[in-house]
Amino acid sequence: MLQVGLTHFLVIGAILFSLGIYGIITRKNAVMVLMGVELILNAANINFVAFSRYGNFGLNGQIAALFVIVLAAAEAAIALAIVLNIYKTYSNVNVDEISNLKE
Amino acid sequence: MAGFPILSLVTFLPVLGMIIIMFLKKEQALTIKYTTLLITGIQLVVAVVMLLNFNYNAQGVFQQSSFQFIEKFRWIQVPGVSWLGTVKIDYFLGVDGISMPMILLTAIVSFIATLSSWNIEKSIKGYFALFLLLDTGMMGVFVSLDFFLFYIFWELMLLPMYFLIGIWGGPRKEYAAIKFFIYTLFGSVFMLLVMIGLYFSAFETLADGTKVHTFNLLAMMDPSNFSANGILSPFNPSNLRFIAYIALFVGFAIKIPMFPFHTWLPDAHVEAPTPISVILAGVLLKMGTYGILRISYPIFPDITKQLMWWIALFGMINILYGAFVALAQKDFKKLIAYSSVSHMGYVLLGMASLTTAGISGAVFQMFNHGTITAMLFLIVGVIYDRAHTRGLDEFGGLAVQMPIYAGFVTVAFFAAIGLPSMSGFVSEALVFVGSFSVEGIRVLSILSSLGILLGAGYMLWTLQRVYLGKLNEKWANLKDLDVREYLMFVPLSIIVIFLGVYPSGMLNIMTTSVNTLVNLVNNGFAKVLF
Amino acid sequence: MTESLLITLSIVTLFLPLLGFAVVVLTGKKFSKMYLFEMLIISATLLISLTIAFFKLSYYPHDIVASLDWFKFSNVPGIGTLNFEIGVKIDNLTALMLIVVNLISFLVHLFSIEYMHGDPRYNRYFSYLGIFTFSMLGIVLTHNLLMMYIFWELVGLSSYLLIGFWFEKKSASDASKKAFIVNRVGDIGMFAGILILFTNYHTFTFDKIFEQISMGHLPFNSPAWLTAAGILVFMGAVGKSAQFPLHVWLPDAMEGPTPVSALIHAATMVAAGVYLVVRIFAMLTADAMTVIAIIGAVTSFIAATIALTQNDIKKVLAYSTVSQLGYMIMALGVGAYSFAFFHLVTHAFFKACLFLGSGSVIHAMHHEQDIRNMGGLRKKLPITYYTFLISTLAISGIPFTSGFLSKDGILAGTLTFGKLTGYWFIPALGFLVALLTAFYMFRLVILTFHGEPRDHHKYDHAHESPFVMAAPLVILATLSIFIWYTPNPVGADQGWFLSKWVKTPHTVVPQNQRFNFMKTEEKTAAAETSEPALHEAEAPVHGEITHSEMYTEAMHASHYPAMFLSIAMAGLGILFAFLIYQWKKISADMLEEKLRPLHKFSLNKWYIDELYDATWIAGTLAFSKMLYWIDSVIIDGAVNGAATVTRFVSRLSGLFDTFVVDGFVNFTAFLSGFIGLNFKKLQTGKVQTYVIFVVFAIIIIMLVFKPY
């Protein structure tokens, strides 16, 4: 019988993380990029919780995951606000076009 | 007379004149000229007043108490500069029997050169201002008894000379001026090194008993003022003193100019305007030999004795070499320049003998060469002004066209040849009497006497080519001397003949000091004597 | 006449001509009659000199000396006081020379008034005569070598001025230059000799030097140096008295006006050399005297052979002067001191007469000097002819003339010398020259005055000279007669000139260095006994005898042989001259043809001038050119080369500075810029790119550092 262990959680976290990275790198839409970021954050959350469950850390991992969820919410709110402003300025949310940071 | 700063007066009077000229307008050419003439005239009068008050029995040379017209006070004093200790430089002027003739010479030659500058036309104001500055530089060299001060005057004179040749000179003036400047500066560097070396070796005891390093020349002549391990101390067994002597000698030799350092002279003379040639030959060359007598001899008597044969050898080379090369010249001024090389050789030869007759002859020859060569350059100047050429072969028969001029030419040429009854004879004869009496350099002395023959050769040949023979019709409109030129030649001729007939007039001034110097050098140091 | 007055007068007579010179040279241009002032001066000088000479010769047997310090050095280390004395000494020689110099000078002045008439620099000419007289008197009056040298050079100057008086002519200015420079050669030797003496004795005065030598103090303690000093001082005489090898200037000096030739280049200045040797005679060693005798003999022979073929009247006389001066020098060398001085005096008069006579001829012929264009002038110029003839007889050594007396004495002296030392070639040359002299002098007389005129145009215009020119000739010719010097026409020994006035000085040379027939001053008996070793060879003779008895006897023995032989020689010479030129028994052209090489050799003056031109002069000039080349190319080249090298090095260091030092700085900047530029491209401004970098960076870090 397949025993679900730490490894499984970590593999799922890694897959989620990779998907997040992939989303960030490949998507042109800023909102999609933000969604990639959310995926990465959640991959981290899974790792936190998994280590909390299987590691000798007590509830520290759970608390960190809660913090991340709160931060992710705040981050999403600020990021969406920025995206909105970008859209107002450039009428566009394509990250390729917005390379003013270069200068 | 005591207390009156007559030496400062005679030295800095020209600077005063220079300041006055600065305030005059460019257009006031005549005023500028007369101011200069007045200043040099006063300077001459002051020099004569000095001569009248001169004590003929004071020794000088190394004894401060027997120097005359002394002015000495602290000039620069910086207490305790880290490892340097107290830096103290004196303003120290004084005159003895060796410098007195030079002061007279400077005053006379400057005055005559002012007269000869009358027809300078280009930027008169600048010319005369520089001229007066030059005068101060020359005079300062002959009166200072502090090495630092000496060096300052020595360098001070370079600057106006550079511009006087470089601006008012002939076609290759820039080349000549730069050559002169750099060559002399090259020598000065050596002098500077030796000066600093001596400074760090010698001490002077102040009134409060502390010992400080000093630039005082007289203090450097006393071996008790040297610390045993000072780099140029006579007690130091290393041969640094020997090297220092040669370095210092090279510095002076360039000025004399001694073979093989003489090649700046013909160029400088040929390019310089007449009055500057007069000053250059009349006074500047003497600074070299004067420096040797004033500084090298008494400070390094030990080395001087070792090297006297070499000094005499170079004297002989100068005499013969200068004469031979003069014989080959086609340019009048260049010929006179090389004759200067030859005549300064007699000074070296006389000095090398380390005898009273020889050194008196040398100092007297310095004076005589100053007056005679000044005349010779004025003579060249007179025809150059009129004919604008100096080629010896382009003239002929000028004695018919310009009889008065030819009369002065005869006087000057025969004086240069060393005809008895002219001053040059006495000094040359004394040089030979002195050098012949020293066994070591007797042969050199005899060989040098060939210079008398060669001198007659090139001088008479020149006389013949330029003044005798048929008048070259090209010059049939040349005018004889005017009053101003007359005034330049008459005093010089009188001096030359007067000192030829009555040499005591000059020799008595220097005898006591020369004897002291001879004693000093032959017996080692002053301390040995007293 | 006290001694001090004599001294004062002698100083006055010395400086009067200088005053004449100064006044005339300064005012001569303004006032055309200034020459009269010079005439006045020379007359006064002559009168004073005659007075001095008269009183000296008559009343003062001893020498009168006065001196003062010209300049001195006191307290000289190692020596004490060093005096440079000048002073006047009047002895018999001085007195006689005063007469000779001033008399001839006066007569030449007189002669010149007419001869130089119309010259544009007439006054200048007389002023030059003044300075010459001054300088010559200085030589005569001095008592020391320094003053001798000073006036020696001053006569050189006046000679220079007068030879080159017509300086528009190149030949004249060449000749004056040559005279001065050739004389300088001798003067250098003289000066070196003086230096030897002064270095050792600290005095220039003759008597003091002699005193020290006689006390046994030799220069540098070596007799060789004494010989050297004698010969070196004698070199001055070689120059001034135109002795071989420095005789070349005198014939050229004939470019000067003829009266000048008479005064300076025949009678007085050239005799100064002889006078100098006379003055230093006492210190001459045997070696020095031999050298002097040989040089004198050789000179007289060379000059006589050259004179045989010259065609310029003045050139013939010039070479005869050289030859006669050689005689005098030779006489001094062989020890015939008094005859040398005697010949100096007699020669001065008859040679001055000959020169002035030639001047008279030249004046009459309108400056024609070539004797081939003369002839037959006897009738036109009787006074000139007879005075010239008398002088010619005198120079040829015919009895009853002054020349016979002095020449005969010299020849007797050479014979004696030959007998005593074995140098027989010196008397041989002496007699040969006597023959040659008679021959060429009569050739000159015959070609000039006898026979038919060869240039009729000039002959027709010739005229006898006026009184001021004739009078000096007559006076000088009269002085060429024996009666002035001795009552005995065949022997001068007993005459007042030789027995009273001129006495050979005692030699001061140590015994082993002098000829054994010369004697020193005898010591007193006491001194002699105290130093017997030094003087044992000498007989204790007192009084005026200065040669040993051996010498006196030999001189007596040679007196008559010398006399007859010399008359025979002179007669033979005259005979040949008449045979060839007067009677034309022997063709001159044929002789010339047969002896062509010898004739050319003589005509070209032994090629000595050419030799000197080719060796000394060309050599000196070439050497000087070479040195100048070295000077401008090598020595100055080294200086300029140093400058060039410095400039090159500075350019190199400039390049180094620009490319290496500054290059490094710039490279750093460039590098940063380059890196920046390239890395800038990484900064795309796209967040996604950055993320890729971050990811890859993490991966690389993981792989490299393996933190797990």
Q: What residue type is C15 in one-letter code?
A: F
In a domain, A84, yes or no: yes
Q: Exposed (0-12), middle (13-18) or buried (19+): which is C105, by Cβ within 10 Å?
A: buried
pLDDT greater than 90 at residue C300: yes
Percent of chain B with pLDDT over 70: 97
Interchain CB distance below 8 Å, C164 and B471: no
Query: Do the Cβ atoms of C514 and C281 come closer than 8 Å?
Result: no
The domain tally of chain A equals 1
What residues of chain C lie within 8 A of the CB of B445, using their CB?
Answer: 195
Mean pLDDT of chain B: 89
DSSP label of C116: T
Nearest chain B residue (CA) to C629: B325
pLDDT in tens, C523-544: 433 343 444 334 333 433 334 4
Return the pLDDT at C527. Answer: 40
Query: Do the Cβ atoms of C214 and C521 come closer than 8 Å?
Result: yes
Alpha-carbon span B300 to B249, nearest angstrom: 11
| Chain B interface, best mutation among C624, C626, C645, by max B CB count within 10 A | C624
Confidence of residue B494 (pLDDT cuts 50, 70, 90): very high
Q: Exposed (0-12), middle (13-18) or buried (19+): which is C119, by Cβ within 10 Å?
A: middle
Chains in contact with C, counting 3 or more C-beta pairs less than 8 Å apart as contact: A, B
Mean pLDDT of the B144-165 span: 91
Q: Which of B339-348, B442-451, C485-494, C552-561 has the lowest mean pLDDT?
A: C485-494
Return the pLDDT at C481. Answer: 87
From residue C153, how far is each of B421, B458, C190, C694 by CA, in Å?
A: 9, 17, 11, 110
Q: Say if A95 is an interface residue toward chain C (CB within 8 Å).
A: yes
Q: What is the 3-state secondary structure (H, E, C) of B140-177?
A: HHHHECEHHHHHHHHHHCHHHHHHHHHHHCCCCHHHHH
pLDDT greater than 80 at residue B432: yes
Interchain CB distance below 8 Å, B519 and C164: no
Strand partners, C80: C76
What residues of chain C lie within 8 A of the CB of A98, using their CB?
Answer: 685
Q: Which of C38-47, C99-108, C372-381 has the lowest mean pLDDT?
A: C372-381
Interchain CB distance below 8 Å, B450 and C82: no
What residues of chain A lie within 8 A of the CB of C693, using their CB?
Answer: none
Confidence of residue B293 (pLDDT cuts 50, 70, 90): very high
Confidence of residue C133 (pLDDT cuts 50, 70, 90): very high
Return the pLDDT at C526. Answer: 38
Q: Say if A2 is an interface residue toward chain C (CB within 8 Å).
A: no
Q: Say if C686 is an interface residue toward chain A (CB within 8 Å).
A: yes
Confidence of residue C520 (pLDDT cuts 50, 70, 90): low
In a domain, A64, yes or no: yes
Alpha helices by DSSP H, listed for B256-331, are: 264-271, 274-279, 285-291, 297-299, 301-327
What residues of chain C lie within 8 A of the CB of A20, using their CB?
Answer: none
Confidence of residue B82 (pLDDT cuts 50, 70, 90): low
pLDDT in tens, C567-579: 898 899 999 888 8
Nearest chain C residue (CA) to B338: C628
Give the dihedral sign, CA B493/B496/B499/B501: negative
Alpha-carbon span C386 to C445, nearest angstrom: 10
Return the pLDDT at C539. Answer: 39
Alpha-carbon span C340 to C59, nearest angstrom: 25
What residues of chain C lie within 8 A of the CB of B512, using their CB?
Answer: 75
Strand partners, B76: B89
Of B183, B452, B470, the CB nearest to C168: B470
Structure tokens given for C483: 């009666």
Domain hosting residue A37, numbered range:
6-90
Alpha-carbon span B495 to B101, nearest angstrom: 13
Cβ within 8 Å of residue C178, ≥6 positions away? C248, C249, C252
CATH code at A33?
1.10.287.3510
Return the pLDDT at C519. Answer: 65
User: Rg of chain A over CA atoms, in angstroms?
Assistant: 17
Q: Which of B42-51, B157-166, B468-477, B490-499 has the lowest mean pLDDT?
A: B468-477
3 state SS of C546: coil
In a domain, A78, yes or no: yes
Q: Which of B108, B133, B158 is nearest to B16 (CA)?
A: B133
Mean pLDDT of the C515-519 span: 74
Structure tokens given for C526: 């006491």
Return the pLDDT at C544. Answer: 46
Return the pLDDT at A101. Answer: 63
Query: Do the Cβ atoms of B127 and B168 come closer than 8 Å?
Result: yes
Cβ count within 10 A of residue B351: 31
Q: Which of A29-43, B153-167, B231-245, C213-227 has the lowest mean pLDDT?
A: B231-245
Q: Which residue has the tokens 């991966």?
A: C699
Q: Say if B425 is an interface residue toward chain C (CB within 8 Å).
A: yes
Mean pLDDT of chain C: 86
Find which of B161-165, C525-529, C588-592 is predicted with most confidence, using mean pLDDT.
Answer: B161-165
Cα C493 versus chain centre, distance: 31
Strand partners, B364: none
pLDDT in tens, C257-293: 999 999 888 888 888 999 999 999 888 888 999 999 9
pLDDT in tens, A5-26: 888 889 999 999 999 988 888 8
Structure tokens given for C274: 């002889």
Q: Which of B21-30, C44-53, C173-182, C287-296 has the lowest mean pLDDT?
A: B21-30
pLDDT in tens, C43-99: 999 999 999 998 888 888 888 888 888 888 888 877 888 888 888 998 888 999 999
pLDDT greater than 50 at residue C374: yes
Interchain CB distance below 8 Å, A99 and C686: yes
* B123: region left, alpha or beta (phi > 0 left; psi from -120 to 50 alpha): left
From residue B188, how far is each of B147, B150, B345 by CA, in Å?
A: 12, 11, 21
Question: Pairing between strand C80-90 and B68-81?
Answer: unpaired
Of C71, C150, C160, the CB nearest to B420: C150
In a domain, A85, yes or no: yes
Interchain CB distance below 8 Å, C688 and A25: yes
| Chain C interface, best mutation among A24, A83, A97, by max C CB count within 10 A | A24
Cβ within 8 Å of residue A57, ≥6 positions away? A51
pLDDT greater than 80 at residue A95: no
Q: Say if C694 is an interface residue toward chain A (CB within 8 Å).
A: no
Query: Which chain B residues in 368-407 lie under 8 Å from chain C, judged by CB atoms?
Result: 397, 399-400, 403
DSSP A33-80: HHHHHHHHHHHHHHHHHHHHHHSS-TTHHHHHHHHHHHHHHHHHHHHH
Give pTM, 2 decimals: 0.87
Question: Tell me, what's the ipTM?
Answer: 0.92
Alpha-carbon span C656 to C663, nearest angstrom: 9
DSSP B261-272: S-THHHHHHHHS
pLDDT in tens, C640-677: 898 899 899 999 999 998 888 888 998 999 999 899 88
Comparison of pLDDT for B302 and C296, the residue scoring more = C296
Nearest-CA distance from C277 to chain B in Å?
A: 21
In a domain, A74, yes or no: yes
3 state SS of C80: strand
In a domain, A98, yes or no: no
In a domain, A83, yes or no: yes
Interchain CB distance below 8 Å, B450 and C71: no
Percent of chain B with pLDDT over 90: 53
Return the pLDDT at B529. Answer: 42
Confidence of residue B526 (pLDDT cuts 50, 70, 90): very low
Confidence of residue B525 (pLDDT cuts 50, 70, 90): low
Q: Which of C89-98, C246-255, C682-691 has the lowest mean pLDDT?
A: C682-691
The helix or strand, by DSSP H or E, that contains position B428, with its residue range, turns out to be helix B423-436
Q: Which of A10-19, C108-117, C506-515 has the lowest mean pLDDT?
A: C506-515
In a domain, A103, yes or no: no
Q: Which of C481, C491, C547, C495 is nearest to C520 (CA)?
A: C547
Mean pLDDT of the B190-212 span: 84
Interchain CB distance below 8 Å, B511 and C173: no
Cβ count within 10 A of residue B261: 23
Structure tokens given for B429: 């004869």
